A and B are shown apart, each in its own frame.
Chain A
Amino acid sequence: MRVGIDVGGTNTDAVLMQGNSVLAKIKTPTTPDVFSGIVTALRFLIEREPSALERISAVMIGTTHFTNAIVERRRLQPTAVVRVGLPATAALPPMVDWPEDLCAALGDHRFLVHGGHEFDGRELSPIDPEEIRGVAREIVRRELRAVAITAVFSPVNNAAEQQVAELIRELLPDVAISLSHEIGRVSLLERENAAILNACLQELAAKTVSAFQQSLVEVGIAAPLYITQNDGTLMSAEYAARYPVLTFSSGPTNSMRGAAFLSGLKDAMVVDIGGTTTDVGALIQGFPREASVAVRVGGVRTNFRMPDVLSIGLGGGSIVKSQPLTIGPQSVGYELHQKALLFGGDVLTTTDIASAAGYFDLRARKGGRAKLAALDPALVAAAVDQIHALTEDAIDRMKLVADDLPVILVGGGSILIDRPLKGVSETIKPEHFEAANAVGAAIGQISGEVDRIFSLDELSRDAALEQAKDEARAKAIAAGALAETVAIVDIEDVPLAYLPSSATRIRVKAVGDLAIIREGVSS
């Protein structure tokens, strides 16, 4: 058995799964401390299935906590940004294309120092230890506890970043250091951005991941804890605490992978309707299609591989106004159960419209039924039309072929859709649709990655690729993946040097199912 948890900004969803079936599920509000919301969810699951406590083999958490912190500019720590690349790169200082409010949240602590490498691994300029110690003293003076280090061409040669980190640690042994080569790929500004975002989240990450772990301890679960990454694979809790940036965009990824799992479809559009927004994306062979352009997180350009998702302001809590009729983007969000007419409040929401149209039967409170009955039927009909039209339009914008495609509807807000959609061959609302994100976390896979420079003097490119693939497979298996499920999902080779001595940087990623999950299936 395993538990999948999605800690969103509004709700915490959790599922208890055995093999391919969902044994129990719960949706509960996310609490400011994160911890008590998860404890509530876990206690509920165990109450439903008392044997689970002994039989849970892994807990997987997907969280938008870190993305939200960046987007909302909250709980970010002042960060020392060290770029190793002088005399080059001075024309564009770090954080050059950042939104001003985010810069302000991190403070202006940018340092450019000598060092780094050329494209072919030659030294760009030597590191001056005294220069670095000067920066370290300045970091001490400014009382900064997070440092991001980015050296030119560190993906080719990471020695400069390592050396600068060591020099800083001499003076600041306890500072949290983020090295860009461990996070991003070639392209200085985007990799540096990712390293800075990672650094400014260190304290929040330590606190949050520890809250995750504490919640397991609190309910007495001894199983290992994994956190989902943006590509749908898992990382250990310790790793996630060091690399919170890798969780960015894992929310949509989990929802889409959960949708694929619950529906059994591998190629389809996924419409995930939450409380405030609807995310629309495309599944290709069971994985979310990736965005082709650089994705911005909180206004900052990154070069992560991110799912290509269109977000529109339509959700179960979207506020409906008449004359003229508008739906969203304002939403009552987590206050739906207090503010919606249906629940006795005084705000007309999309959930009220769906209920008035007879799409579902929720027990109304405090005269909610009467309030719904008093709604103008023409308004309800027009709002229903517009809700469907907004959804159809979003699907159409994300479709890359004109053909009608199947659509998987997931998320708590998918009760809003009950009519056939235009441009859609069939609409599937799978069982447990409202917990697709938690299911997606629960089915997270294990990956193994090789990222190394191969000399092609004695090895052909094909032989080098084969060797890299074998190593990646072996790493995935060593990390806990079940051998027969391991497949290569990503290959990238970047030729480095010029003839005659050629070398190439090969990055290969292998992915497989977590072995203990499969054991769970057979048991």
Chain B
Amino acid sequence: MRLITADDMEEIALGAAVLGTGGGGDPYIGKLLAIEALRRHGPVQLLDIDALDDDDLIVPAAMMGAPTVMIEKIPQGDEIIRAFREMESYLGRSITATMSIEAGGLNSTTPFSVAAALGLPLIDADGMGRAFPEIQMVTMSIDDISATPFTLADDKGNTLLINTVDNLWTERFARTAVIEMGCSAMLACFPMTGRQLKQAAVPGTISLCQRIGRAIRQAHNDGQSPIEAVLEVTGGYRLFGGKIGDIQRRTVRGFTRGQAVIAGSGRWTNQQCTLQFQNEFLVAQTERAVLASVPDLITILDAETGEPITTESLRYGFRVEVLGIPCNERWRTPKGLSLVGPQYFGYDFPYVPLEERVQQREQ
């Protein structure tokens, strides 16, 4: 157990943006919301997954909506507390701890607000080890843990309780409700016992975020390459480097979809890399080969500063490095791939683990 204070949030949010793979919402807003809550209510306990009792009740907290909306319509502040109260009153018992649903992006820091406000510990784990666009795309789904009961609250004071037959239905109903709520809402979901969580979650990811963030900062201070520092902490690979050219974006059913083309430089001169995204980067490919695909992590860093760049802040002319980071092993199981593999996102090629793709190219 250790205490997380407002001072830790810079590093955690920076690391979370790296794991955010271009999506997961603006980590800046997430960081400010957490810092504001920690200042107001005091520090939050970060608990190792092993510290949980089997019958503890853990409820992850998250923000749901379009990233472009979240940076404009900031929450009212009590949404998440109302969502938790609604959950507790439906289940008839108190929540023991909360957790991040995704370690990547804004939602890595969302639960800090409710943890601080309600005095709940936060579990050092998440349900993705990265960011994904849809609710059912969590390791809990591999274990058939239900996303429901699921509570949703908006800035106007509306609260919804959803019970569904499976997690895909939860996603459908919740997405529709969130659009009506102005494309941004707070939610409590996947109520779990301690025993379930130990089996299903990706452990240690909040600490990993902090280690990544610290590595980037330290590299800066020491005049070292932040890109190398990130690769070292995450065990990732350098996939491509160059300048952003054409970017296309469109909004489909509450998601930002599109693609960005990178003109290669350095050892990738005369090559071109296309990045496909749906909130997060899904696929990176050159004319010749797929470099990486979901569920492995594709993350774009500013070539100089090592600052992660989100899909909505991509702009023409940015010089970037494309990194690939291996995903959690559970995503590589048949059930994991059916949830978040390339085919789920509409691509017709099979999933090949990042390490194998890198090896094939090197041969």
Q: Which residues of A contact B (CB under 8 A)?
A: 85-92, 96-97, 116, 118-120, 122, 124-125, 152-153, 186-189, 284, 289-290, 292-294, 301, 397-398, 400-402, 493-499
Contacts and interface: CB of A to CB of B under 8 A. Distances in A.
B36 A289 contact: no
Interface string B63-85: 00010110111111100000000
A491 to B, nearest CB: 9
A188 B303 contact: no
Contacts of A86: 76
Contacts of B72: 119, 152-153, 186-188
A401 B263 CA distance: 13
A181 B252 CA distance: 26
Given A119-B68, A119-B182, A88 B73 contact: yes
Nearest to B75: A91
A289 B315 CA distance: 12
Given A290-B317, A498-B251, A125 B182 contact: no
15 contacts: A85-B73, A89-B74, A89-B155, A92-B33, A118-B183, A119-B183, A120-B183, A153-B73, A188-B71, A188-B73, A188-B74, A189-B71, A189-B74, A294-B28, A499-B253
A142 B136 CA distance: 52
A494 B247 CA distance: 11
Contact of A90 (B76, B183, B251, B302): B76
A265 B349 CA distance: 46
- Tell me if B's interface is mostly helix, strand, loop or mixed: loop
A499 B257 CA distance: 13
Contacts of A397: 304
B236 to A, nearest CB: 20
B335 interface: no
B265 interface: yes
Contacts of B68: 119, 186, 494
Contact of B249 (A289, A495, A499): A495
Given A124-B73, A189-B74, A401 B265 contact: yes
A487 to B, nearest CB: 15
Contacts, number: 113
A231 to B, nearest CB: 14
B307 A88 contact: no
Given A118-B183, A494-B68, 13 more contacts: A88-B73, A89-B75, A91-B76, A186-B68, A188-B71, A188-B74, A292-B307, A292-B315, A293-B302, A301-B28, A402-B266, A495-B249, A498-B251
Nearest to A154: B72
Contacts of A289: 317
B95 to A, nearest CB: 21
B169 interface: no
Most buried by A among B155, B254, B256: B155
B288 interface: no
B157 interface: yes
B32 interface: yes
Contacts of A119: 66, 68-69, 72-73, 182-183
Contacts of B4: none
Contact of B36 (A92, A120, A152): A92
Contact of A401 (B33, B74, B77, B266): B266
A178 B149 CA distance: 46
B172 interface: no
Contacts of B251: 495-498
Contact of A400 (B36, B183, B256, B303): B303
B155 A87 contact: yes
B2 interface: no
Given A292-B318, A496-B251, A118 B307 contact: no
A88 B304 contact: no
B156 interface: yes
A361 to B, nearest CB: 37
Contacts of A495: 249-251, 256
Nearest to B65: A119
Contacts of B243: 400
Contact of B253 (A89, A92, A498): A498
B309 interface: yes
Contacts of B217: none
4 smallest CB-CB distances across A and B, nearest first, come from A91-B77, A88-B155, A495-B251, A118-B182
Contact of B252 (A116, A189, A494, A499): A499
B179 interface: yes
A401 B304 CA distance: 11
A120 B76 CA distance: 19
With a 10 A CB-CB cut-off, give which of B28, B254, B256 has the most chain A CB atoms.
B28
A124 B75 CA distance: 12
Nearest to A118: B182
Most A CB contacts (10 A, CB to CB) among B32, B253, B254 go to: B32
Contacts of B69: 119
